[in-house]
Amino acid sequence: MKTLYVSDLDGTLLNDSAELSEYTRKTLNRLTASGLNFTIATARTAYTVPTVLEGLDLRLPAILNNGVMLFDLAARTFSNVKYIHPTAVNAALSAIRRYNLTALLYSADGAEQAVYYEPALENAAMKEFREVRFTRYGKKFTPVDRLETLSSDRVFYLSLLDAYPRLAPLYEEIRHPGTLSSAFYRNTYTENSWLLEIFSAEASKANAALELKKLGGFDRITAFGDNLNDLPLFGAADECLAVANAQEAVRAAADYVIDANTSDGVARWLEKFFQNQH
Average pLDDT over residues 199-204: 96
Question: 77-92: per-residue pLDDT in tens?
Answer: 999 999 999 999 999 9
For the cut 80, the answer to whether the pLDDT of residue 48 exceeds it is yes
Question: 152-194: per-residue pLDDT in tens?
Answer: 999 999 999 999 999 999 999 998 878 899 999 999 888 789 9
Q: How far is CA 200 from CA 30, 178, 242, 247, in A?
A: 36, 9, 26, 25
Give yes or no for a contact between 62 and 73, defined as CB atoms under 8 angstroms apart: yes
Tell me what pLDDT residue 275 has: 84
For the cut 90, the answer to whether the pLDDT of residue 66 exceeds it is yes
Question: 224-261: per-residue pLDDT in tens?
Answer: 999 999 999 999 999 999 999 999 999 999 999 999 99
Q: How far is CA 83 from CA 87, 114, 127, 134, 170, in A?
A: 11, 14, 26, 25, 21
Tell me what pLDDT residue 278 has: 59
CA 40 to chain centre: 9
Question: 259-270: per-residue pLDDT in tens?
Answer: 999 999 999 999
Tell me what pLDDT residue 91 has: 95
Average pLDDT over residues 61-69: 97
Tell me what pLDDT residue 185 has: 95
% of the chain with per-residue pLDDT over 90: 92
Where are the alpha helices (H) located in the chain, listed in sequence order?
22-33, 49-52, 86-98, 124-137, 164-174, 205-216, 231-236, 248-253, 265-277
Question: 93-145: per-residue pLDDT in tens?
Answer: 999 999 999 999 999 987 789 999 999 999 999 999 999 999 999 999 999 99
